Structures are given as structure tokens and as C-alpha cells.
Structure 1
Amino acid sequence: MITLVPLSGFLGSGKTTTLISAAIAMQRTGRRVAVVTNDPGAGLVDTNLARGGLDEVAELAGGCLCRRLPDLAALLADADMAGKADVVLVEASGSCADLRNTVVRPLRERYRGRMTVAPLTAVVDPLRLAAFTRAAERCEPEPDLGYVFGRQLVEAELLAINKTDLIGDERTAKLEARLAADYPRAAVLPYSATTGVGLEELIRAWTRPNPALESQGAQVRAVRGEPKLDFTRYADAESQVAWLNEAFRVTAAESAFDAVAWAKTVLRQLSEWSAAAGYFVGHIKLAVRTPAGLAKLSVTDTGAPPQADRAAARPVEYGYATINARVVCPPSTLDDAVRAAIAAADKAHRATSHGARPSSFRSAHRRYQPQRLAATG
């Protein structure tokens, strides 16, 4: 029987790092693990990163999970029939909400007794939560993206506080107590996907039997009294974000270039640009696959410095770059900024980028249209 682990969480919360770290840890104990990434666009840094360390990786592109439910069900059926996995970790898009009603409950109802659906887990970035909280305390109007962030917390059955290595034990304990009080229906677990502290407890919460979650009646009681999702605000939030997925080749103008330093320059330029313009950054991820290995860096907040998640060991003659950016700004503005950042990095590190033609887009799903599973016969 397959155990499905659904992960939600806002842009930049660390879902992919959690997914990969947990999958590797479970594989070490003999479990067969598959992962599924999800995004409105195709060509994800996260998918390539997962494929670097895991055997079974699939990407559901072209819409968030609520709109790709039949495709997800088909992937699960294939993994089960082929014996490819006994645990499937599914990562939703960072702007996705209402997963409990549109994905988790339908799967539990359809596959009761044939598949276990673990608690819907929202990966929580404590720094992002603090920023939204400070805005609320200043009585600023709640932005639509802040509304989506809050909905992810409300619907979660497990709140997983990530990045505890950045805030320390005392702040972690206070945040754990606060979330437990504010969301009494959810379990709360702190951990760090980067250091691995607390990861085993999180995995146990996903994989231990919990008959209550498989009960349709329990699910109905769990959502009773909660305000319904405001579909207009949800659609507006998605439509404010410029999404960019771009892949291109980078070669050394002379003998070799440092792919990590090149990528840091691209991301530093974009982070400084976002801060100067006041644009909200969900995340910007940049991976460069080279003969020396994979370099992967990211920026997860406006004006933040680039963080290296994986670094190639030596200068190389060429590499294949993939950039994913999620920024609240006009798509054409993001395209111009990315072109300028790549040009600056090429000049600084004596490299040449080929085929870099940024083409950002906004979510086409102005109307909320979840897909239903076909009737069983």
C-alpha cells in the first residue's frame, strides 16, 4: 500500500529541501520513495535537483495540484502497480491553497483501504511568518499573497516549522507554542531540512498509522466552521506573480569560469534590483549543471543574499543553467531584470550565455477550476 505525503507551503519555505532530505532519509531505511514536483510552468530547478539524488521523480507542470488531480492519481496508480514506490512525496506549488478539499479529501475517499494519505503538511518559514505578522500588527491591509499564506496554515493537518537552525531553540519553542494555540486542529513539529534536526520526527508523523485521518467523518468535522476559501482573492494572488522558468547554456569566454560565482552574481543582481524597486520576491532559484557537478543557489526574500544549496567543485568550460523566479511585478519587468543580471554575470566572470530569452508569464487560471477524479466503475 502506498503512503502519499502531500506538502504545501509558501514560496521559499523550503519544501523542496524538505522533500529531498526526507526522501533520502527514508531510502536509507529501505523504503522505496518517489517524489512529484508541481508548478504552473515546466522546467523546474527543483525537479532537476531531485533527480540528482533520487531514482523516481516526476513533474506535474501546467497547473497546481488541484487542477492536476487526475494526473496525480494516474501517477500514483502507476507507481503502485509497477512497484516503484511505497511512499510518494508530493510538493504543491508555493501559491497553492485549498489542497485539503480539492486533493487530500478526494484521494482519501476514493482510495480508502488502498492508499494512506498522510497529514496534509504545510512547511512554515518562520521568517516569512514573522514578516506577515509584523504587517498585521501595524494594521496594514492584508495582501492577497498574505491571505494565501494564511489559508495554507488554516487547512494544514501538520504545521512543520522549517529553518529552525536560523532562529534558535528559544524562538523555535515560542513559535511552536504559538502555532499550537492558533491552530489547535493541527499538529506542530519543528525541524531543519538543511541540518536534518527533527527530520526523523517529521517522517514518523507521516508514516505512522493514523486511522482518524482516513475517516471521512473526521474530515468533515475538521473543516466545519472554517470560512470558505475566497476564490477571487486566491486567483488575484496568483495573477500578481510573474513566473519565469528559463533554461540556457553558459560557456567560458576564455579557458574556464566559476559557475558558483557566476550564479551568485546573477542572483545578487536580481535581489538588489527587487529591493530597490520594492518588488516582493517569493523565490529565485538558479541551478547550473556542469561537468564538475551541480551548482544550485537561491534567494528567498526581497534583498536577501544568495544562498548556495549545492556547489560545483571547480571552474568549468561550460554549464547548463536553469532559472526559476517568482516575483510580484510585471512579467516584462522581470524579463528585463533577468537579462541585465545575466549580462552582468557574463561580463564579471568572462562567460557567454547562449539562448537566454526570458519570457515570464502570469497564472492563466483567473477562475478557480479544480479537476475531479473520474467516477469508478
Structure 2
Amino acid sequence: MSHQIKFIMVGGFLGAGKTTTLGRLAKYYADQGLNVGVVTNDQAADLVDTNALRSQGLHVGEVAGACFCCHFNALMETIEELGSQQKPDVILAEPVGSCTDLVATVIQPIKRLFDADFSIHPYAVLMKPSHGLKILKNDKGSGFSPKAAYILKKQLEEADLILINRIDELSAEDVDEITSLVNEQFPGTPVLRTSALTGEGFDSLVEFLEQDGDFGSKILDIDYEIYAEGEAELGWLNSSVHISAENSFSLDQLLMDVISQLQASFKEQSVETAHLKTIGLWEGFFGVANLVSNDSEPRLSLSSDCTVTEADLIVNARVACDPEALTAQVMQVLQNCAQALNAKLEFRQTQSFRPGRPVPTHRYASPQ
């Protein structure tokens, strides 16, 4: 048999920890001597995840402008480009966090159209505790409407493996409660408890992903009207800026100030954060800060440990509010942070919108 590329897709709701998980998986496979390619995905350009993974020395391609399912041909072209110099042994794919129905629209098309080129490995979906626990308990205080909650539930329904992530942030009682709810609502689906940040449970994840079997076969019964309306409730913003000051400043502190002030602004406006990320880059240094819900603590997920006089910043915000209001809040906070440093701020590019209705390139209603 000719060389087949391992195709491993890791899904999950916005802020579930997909990027951290993929970064850890990429390092694991690279340490095994394998050639690894990573494909990120977003509804717009200037993705924090792409820049963060590239800054770790990984070979990363980006499919921007729509989800993998709606840009399937772009996904396959990006994989081909990643193999232009050396064919990958492993492709790690990170879909948009507001997308579902990926078995029918991504995995099944690869199986049917590119069967000789790829071996499909288990489709793992990360469970985001901060919103997921409330949604599985049907708590109306989750911050999202039932239509947005529908997406998270459908993501878990089509998984070959459910990963309860961020257990380092939870009490043992909370982890047990989430596990019980997942087992009750998605019976028969294997469940692992993990922390992408600390690596707890990672060996079990790798062991599961290396299994052979008929994976990627759970075709959803899904209402695309509810799905589309749930996605459209989120305001989506990607913004890139350059900041420069006469006096040096801590890049990490700036990132945390941006995240903390945005969290305060969103709480004041009573709009829920699905995910908020910012990366700061300068001359090979980079740091990343993020927030996964209004009730969570802002975190410096990757520290730059550097002092600079200028830097490039990228902000990605996925918030349950109007895109214009989201843009105004982000711009105001960036200006406030620059003013506090007596720094100049140059806006390079800002895109804000609501995601459009998903229109998959392919959709197979039955598994191969």
C-alpha cells in the first residue's frame, strides 16, 4: 500500500482548548520522527491560532473565509501545499469552533474521494466545561441561547471520543458531574479527562488516536436552520494592530490588560464571551492570552517573558453580541491600553461580522 497520511481532526466549541491540544499532539508526533502538518480554520483571516502554532516552529496552513465543510477544496489544497516539499505523515486539523456536522461534510468526503491517500483516525471533540456544564444541565444562565447550545451538543454527538478538557481548572466534584452528564447524554461514546495545558491524560489520548477502526462514521440528524441561526448569534472579530512606545513595556502584561479590560467591557454590556484570544509578536518573541467565558479568569497561556518598545497584536473575539458593538469595544480597549503606555496605535486590519449560513461542498447522509 502506498504511503497514507494520518488524518486527525480535533473539534470542540470555541475556547475548548483545541489549539493547545493540537500543539501538544504535533510535538508528540514530531518527536517520533514524523513529518507533521497542521491546518487551522477560521471564518476570517488574522487567526491567533495560526500565528501561535507557527511561532512554535510548526508547519501550519490556514483555511480562512469559511469552515472546512464549506471550503472543502481549500482544505485539500492546503494539505497538498503543506506536502509540497515533504509529504506529511500526519495532518492535524482544527475546525472552526462554532461548526458541527463535520463527519458528514469533512471526514466522509475524505474517505470517499481520497481514500487511498489518508487513514482516518478517531474524531476527538473537546468538551468546554465553562459553558458545556451549564448547557448539558439546560441552565438558562449559560450565556447562550438554545440555538447556540444546540451546536455544542451536536459537536459532542458526532464524536468518536469526548475529551473533558481543562480538568486542571476544575474540582474533582465538577469533573465527576460533567463526566456523568456526558455519559448520560452521549451513551456509548468513550470519555477521557484531560488537561491540554498540563498534559494530564495526554498519553491516553494518543493511545486512543492510534487505534484502528471504523471512525468518523456518526452522521448527524441535524437541523441546518437551527445550526445557522445559532452560529449567527455570535459576533466575530479579527483585528491586527501595531503598537509602539518610547519607553519599554511588558508584552505579557499588555496582553493580559487587553483581555481583562475586554472581559470587564463584555460583562458591563451583559454579552457572553465564547472565546477571546490575543497574541503579541515581536522579533521572534510571542505571547498569548485568552479568556473562555465571562466567568473565567483571563490566562496567559503562552508567556513571551520579554520587554519591548513595539509589537504586533492580533485580537480574535467571538462574543454573543452585534459585530459593530464588538468592534467598538475592542477598539476602545486597545486605545485605552496604548494610552496607558503613552504609545502609538496603528490599526492594520479589522474584520467583524456574523457567520453566514453553512453551505457544505459535500455532505454524505450515510457512512462509507
Compute the displacement of 1:22 (Å). 1.3
- Residues 1:80 and 1:261: Cα distance change in structure 2 (over 3 Å): closer
Are residue 186 (structure 1) and residue 189 (structure 2) matched? yes
Are residue 232 (structure 1) and residue 234 (structure 2) matched? no
Q: Distance in 1 between matches of 2:33 and 2:66?
A: 33
Give the one of 351, 354, 358 matched to 1:362.
354
- Residues 1:251 and 1:151: Cα distance change in structure 2 (over 3 Å): same
- Paired residue for 1:172? 175
1:122–1:152: 8 Å Cα contact kept in structure 2?
yes
Deviations 1:57-100 (A, max 9, x none): 00000100111112222333455675331111100001001001
Give the one of 328, 343, 347 matched to 1:336.
328
Give the one of 79, 91, 98 matched to 1:76.
79
Give the one of 204, 209, 212 matched to 1:209.
212
Deviates more, 1:172-181 or 1:68-77: 172-181
- Paired residue for 1:64? 67
- Paired residue for 2:272? 280
TM-score by length of 2: 0.91
1:257–1:315: 8 Å Cα contact kept in structure 2?
yes
- Residues 1:111 and 1:137: Cα distance change in structure 2 (over 3 Å): same
1:32–1:84: 8 Å Cα contact kept in structure 2?
yes
Compute the displacement of 1:109 (Å). 2.3
| Aligned alpha-carbon RMSD (Å) | 2.3
Q: Distance in 1 between matches of 2:73 and 2:348?
A: 34
Aligned residues: 360
1:258–1:349: 8 Å Cα contact kept in structure 2?
no
1:331–1:359: 8 Å Cα contact kept in structure 2?
no
Deviations 1:147-204 (A, max 9, x none): 1111101111111111111114454344334423421242211111000111121122
Compute the displacement of 1:359 (Å). 4.0
Compute the displacement of 1:324 (Å). 0.6
- Paired residue for 2:242? 249
Give the one of 357, 361, 366 matched to 1:371.
361
- Paired residue for 1:197? 200
Compute the displacement of 1:131 (Å). 2.2
- Percent identical among aligned pairs is 28
Where 1:97 maps in the other structure, the secondary structure is coil
Question: Unpaired runs of 5+ in structure 2?
Answer: 364-368
Question: Unpaired runs of 5+ in structure 1?
Answer: none
- Residues 1:36 and 1:198: Cα distance change in structure 2 (over 3 Å): same
Q: Distance in 2 between matches of 1:258 and 1:66?
A: 40
Q: Partner letter of residue 213 of structure 1? A: F
Give the one of 297, 321, 327 matched to 1:305.
297
TM-score by length of 1: 0.89
Q: Going by fraction, where is helix more abundant, 1 or 2? A: 1
